[in-house]
Amino acid sequence: MQSVGRPTQPQAVSATPDTLTGARGLLQDEVLIFELGGWDKTGVDLAEPELDASDLGDLVRVEPIGLPGLSEPETLRHYVRLSQKNHAIDLALYPLGSCTMKHNPRLNEKMARLAGFADIHPLQPQSTVQGAIELMDELSHWLKTLTGMPAVALSPKAGAHGELCGLLAIRAAHVARGDARKRVLVPTSAHGTNPATAAFVGYLVEEIAQTDDGRVDLGDLEAKLGPDVAAIMVTNPNTCGLFERDVIEIARLTHSAGAYFYCDGANFNAIVGRVRPADLGVDAMHINLHKTFSTPHGGGGPGAGPVVLSEALAPYAPAPWIVHGEDGYSLDEAPAGAFGRMCAFHGQMGMFVRALAYMKSHGTDGLRQVAEDAVLNANYIKARLSPVMSAAFTGPCMHEALFTDAWLEGTGVTTLDFAKAMIDEGFHPMTMYFPLVVHGAMLIEPTETESRNELDRFCDAVLKLASAARSGDADRFKGAPFHAPLRRLDETRAARKPVLKCPPPG
């Protein structure tokens, strides 16, 4: 019989000692990558290049380039350690309002990794990428069908890039009829990108007032419309989580002033499969594939913001245009009428594959249910939290539930404190202080991908925190987060005295 064993049960100890290295068990402390690598190292073994005479003259770099030298495992571990400190949709609910943080189905990933989509190059002969162009054409067909619009530009690389594309098409349409215009109207609850885009294109931005029930004030819109207005930019449902019920009238007033109706499609998830923006009178709308159509946000992959265009704007759509002729598919890189192009190549191919995989796996009936369930889930949260927290508007909401901070009055706890305490409880905070039209806003968007169990777990945690705030336990909030890898960051100092340079090599 084997007599040598090892202890299999934990022993009682009297205290928890600090670690000797400052690490917290298997959660590694991590410095900046520039503090990790030596400047004189490199992780790859490449032959010293033979330098030909350069055309750059005295612009040739003589200083060290200043990139840290790391081996592959050092680099990999650095980013995996950082990822362990992060929150992700793969870990838990991500209730960031107006962002539609839904699950990214793994089927999408499998499709995007097929060699015919993943290993092609935009400069390859078009005859060798017929399947990829066909996929772009099929995605276009779905986007046009779901929105009722006759044309789509796939190439914009994010929502704001799509706004730029839409406004450039609008400007081109006005210029083509000798009617260049100056102003763009934007409601006070708009995403900040809307006025930024309009200003970037060169328009003057004017705000449209909001009614007491959180919608565009038609009287104010009518007063501000005029022969120099190029467009209005309206989000529907808007950032208060409310459907603009006067949208048909908004479109009519806009068109009768000779202006175009740009719709910010960030909240399309609430209406996909149920409402066709063309039927509302929309002339241009971007569609965030990384929201409504489940492709990853941010670090998981780039965004993609295709723009659908009405009959009036379609002739000005940017290159490339997909052409389906007798010899198969091709891309017209210089169509007459196009206002130009949005990027060097054709857009985010990997996101096109993922979005189409999502559409085809859901079907039109499934997409309709996406919208219905997204709205149902948001209303469930609104109903559970409203008895304690102050809803910004009465009545049902669309895909996101908006609260003010009125219910925190007198507790000494702010919206920011409350959001930070949510991190301690294991949840990503909701969107806070947006939209600006609501005081101390808390904007919660659960999406359709959360189960009843997960919604309850979230609501239970928020309600427990709410009763802690109301029972005078302000310390729990003022110092939060206590249990995160980093404590409360000094945003003010970071903004006023940013440290933007790493130490130089030497």
Partner 1 sequence: MRFTKDHEWVELSGDIATIGISAYAANALGDVVFVETPEIGKAVKAGDGFAVVESVKAASDVYAPVSGEVVEANGALSDTPEMVNQDPEKDAWFAKVRVSDPAEVEALMDRDAYEAFLATL
Q: Which of 436, 460, 484, 502 binds partner 1 (CB under 8 A)?
A: 436
Q: Is 19 strand, coil or helix?
A: coil
Q: How far is the CB of 188 from partner 1 (least distance, A)?
A: 11
Select the span of 261-269, 335-343, 478-486, 492-500 touching partner 1 (CB under 8 A): 492-500
Part of the chain binding partner 1 (CB under 8 A), chosen from 58-66, 174-182, 219-227, 488-496: 488-496
Member of 433, 456, 470, 485 binding partner 1 (CB under 8 A)? 433
Asked whether 306 and 162 are in contact (CB, 8 A), the reply is yes
Q: Does 499 bind partner 1 (CB under 8 A)?
A: no
Write out the binding residues for partner 1, residues 203-262 only, by CB under 8 A: none
Beta carbon of residue 405, minimum distance to partner 1 (angstroms, whole number): 12
Report whether 190 contacts 233 (CB < 8 A): yes
- Distance, in Å, from the CA atom of 186 to the CA atom of 367, rounded to the nearest integer, reads 29
Determine, following the binding rule CB under 8 A, whether residue 500 of this chain makes contact with partner 1.
no
Which of 156, 195 has the CB closer to partner 1? Answer: 195
**CA pair distance 280, 487, nearest whole angstrom:** 47
**AA letter at 324:** H
Q: Which is nearer to partner 1, 200 or 433 (CB)?
A: 433
Give the x-and-dash track for 382-421 against partner 1 (CB under 8 A).
----------------------------------------
Give me the least distance between CB of 207 and partner 1, in Å please: 9
Binder of partner 1 out of 106, 177, 496, 501 (CB under 8 A): 496
Q: Smallest distance from the beta carbon of 432 to partner 1, in angstroms?
A: 9
DSSP state of 278: G
Closest CB to partner 1 among residues 106, 496 = 496
Mapping DSSP onto H, E and C, the string for 309-373 reads ECCCCHHHCCECEEEEECCEEEEECCCCCCCCECCCCCCCHHHHHHHHHHHHHHHHHHHHHHHHH
Distance CA 503, CA 38 (A): 12
Alpha-carbon span 73 to 344, nearest angstrom? 34
Quick one: how far is CA 172 from the chain centroid?
Answer: 27
167-206 binders of partner 1 (CB under 8 A): 192
Among 492, 499, 500, 501, binds partner 1 (CB under 8 A): 492
The answer to the question of residue 495 lying near partner 1 (CB under 8 A) is yes
Q: Cα separations (Å) of 405 from 131, 401, 409, 465?
A: 52, 13, 7, 14
Torsion-angle region of residue 99: left (phi > 0), alpha (psi -120 to 50) or beta? alpha
Tell me the closest approach of the beta carbon of residue 145 to partner 1, in angstroms: 38
- Residues in contact with partner 1 by CB under 8 A are 192, 433, 436, 491-492, 495-496
